[in-house]
Chains A and B, each alone.
Chain A
Amino acid sequence: MGSAVKIEKLSFSYTPDKPVLKEVSLEVKPGEKLGIIGRSGAGKSTLLLHLNGILSGSGTVSIDGTKVEKKSLYQVRKKVGLVFQNPDDQLFNPTVEEDIAFGPLNFGLSREESAARVKEALNAMNLEGLEKSVSHHLSLGERKRVALATVLAMQPEVIAFDEPFSSLDPEMVVQLINIIGGLDATLVVVSQSLLPLLSCCNRLAVISEGEIIAHGPREEVVKNDELMKRSGMDMSFYREIFRDYF
């Protein structure tokens, strides 16, 4: 079986003296749900932007065998959907419907096909009836789901999420976990919320100072206390809380 995402020796820096990614290598098999954890500034979001060709560093990134480069951007962006951390950064059209149809129309679908995709994506996100709503008049939870719907409507093979659980109330987090867990695509989820990540991903990678320091089944990675501490997660702290209160 080939790889849905294959990253080899990827390095990137915004300023010459400060590398954000250092020779990162990572492989995600089709259908896998990979969670990436790490401290703030560890390079998680920067790594995601490479999957879609928005950033390009040295090394190679391939999506389903297609190398991410200038000439393949159209194909790559069709295959990889990016869900940004802040839905306001993703929603820019006057209505929810226009926003969700933006991707499908750009990739050459007819209005009828796009309308069908919009309907399907709204149903999947429990947002029926909001087609004509103005995106930034919706609640944060709704905006997050609309942002996800904009990507689902493109039916990508790989969906990359940047901090999907941030700023959501617990009920909404559970709803989103169920939605993400039920998606029929290869997922790469970047988050600092360990528990939701563990619930919806079957593999876990730890990134620290621009390097992948661990990658494997979630059970194995999460039990390595030393590793988790390096990624900013002191598991003994959580264990104490659970022991005391639950």
Chain B
Amino acid sequence: MKHSFIDKYSDLDSPVHRLDPRIKTLTALCLILIIVSETRGELFPFLFYIPVIGVIAAVSRIPWGYIMKRCLVVAPFILLTALFYPLSGMLTSDFRSLGSYNHEYMVGISIFLKAYSALILLIVLTSTEKFHNILLGLRKLKMPKLIGIISALMYRYVFLIHDEILRTNMARDSRTTGKLKMSRLKVYGNQSAMVFVRSFERSQTLYNSMLSRGFNGEFPSMSRLSLKGKELLFAGALIMLVLAIRLANQNIQNYLFN
């Protein structure tokens, strides 16, 4: 079975790809923290954040279509959160004062922008580095072993489940003409149950095969991580730039309102 991977563009070559996974992960996390901690309802700084994120994504050479497609997956959740913030304000207040809800709208939009900024940074991070290297980097950054194992196994088992879905889809489609009718929704129920049972059994065999080759809770890797001075410099400069935008905006606000 062939399926796509979250790190399918990790073999491309770009300055972002060449960064050490530890630096890349830490930089992404710092940028996300700075951006999401921006004052609620502040939209002005996003005029600067968005181009910075855009440049990072463009330099990484990850196709925009791919980034957008992955952004769409979580769009319903982000949109609902962003929409419900002003709505909840309206529902708990007097409808006559609708005009004073401008701030709530701004907060909703800023939630949307913050979420998408973080998401695009995470997509760039996971797409420019092999997943096992990200885990390896996190382990070197002293991430607890148990979380590392759970993440690694989850990544492997997701493909296993996907594989079973593709197999059962083929089996179902080979005996189905046209679209499956609503009256036969039971088929999807049965298929889902089978996917989980089969995946469970396969995961057992996979685990046995890992044990038979000495698995002791660690995923050893042939990859070597090397930290270069200029990578640190680049990451530091990027974090400083975003932090400067953040602080400058705060100072402008203080100046305007005091």
**B201, closest chain A residue (CB):** A89
Q: Which residues of B contact A52 (CB under 8 A)?
A: 211-212
Cβ of A154 within 8 Å of any chain B Cβ, yes or no, is yes
Cβ of B73 within 8 Å of any chain A Cβ, yes or no, is no
Cβ of A157 within 8 Å of any chain B Cβ, yes or no, is no
Cβ of A128 within 8 Å of any chain B Cβ, yes or no, is no
User: In the bound complex, do residue B209 and residue A84 qualify as a contact, i.e. CB atoms below 8 Å apart?
Assistant: yes
Partner of A92, one of B7, B210, B220, B222: B210
CA distance A98 to B152 in the complex (A): 14
Cβ of B205 within 8 Å of any chain A Cβ, yes or no, is yes
User: In the bound complex, do residue A54 and residue B2 qualify as a contact, i.e. CB atoms below 8 Å apart?
Assistant: no
Partner of A105, one of B1, B208, B222: B222
User: In the bound complex, do residue B222 and residue A77 qualify as a contact, i.e. CB atoms below 8 Å apart?
Assistant: no
Cβ of B130 within 8 Å of any chain A Cβ, yes or no, is yes
Partner of A106, one of B1, B131, B159, B213: B213
User: In the bound complex, do residue B132 and residue A49 qualify as a contact, i.e. CB atoms below 8 Å apart?
Assistant: no
Cβ of A93 within 8 Å of any chain B Cβ, yes or no, is yes
Q: Which residues of B contact A151 (CB under 8 A)?
A: 213
Cβ of B214 within 8 Å of any chain A Cβ, yes or no, is yes
**B218, closest chain A residue (CB):** A106
User: In the bound complex, do residue B214 and residue A92 qualify as a contact, i.e. CB atoms below 8 Å apart?
Assistant: no
User: In the bound complex, do residue B2 and residue A107 qualify as a contact, i.e. CB atoms below 8 Å apart?
Assistant: no
CA distance A171 to B209 in the complex (A): 27
Partner of A114, one of B159, B211, B219, B222: B222
Partner of B214, one of A54, A107, A136: A107
Instruction: Give residues 83-106 of A contacting B (CB, 8 Å).
Output: 84, 86, 88-90, 92-94, 97-98, 101-103, 105-106
For the complex with contacts A81-B212, A90-B206, A101-B220, 8 further pairs of A-B residues with Cβ separation under 8 Å are A77-B211, A77-B212, A77-B214, A78-B214, A88-B202, A102-B210, A111-B222, A154-B213
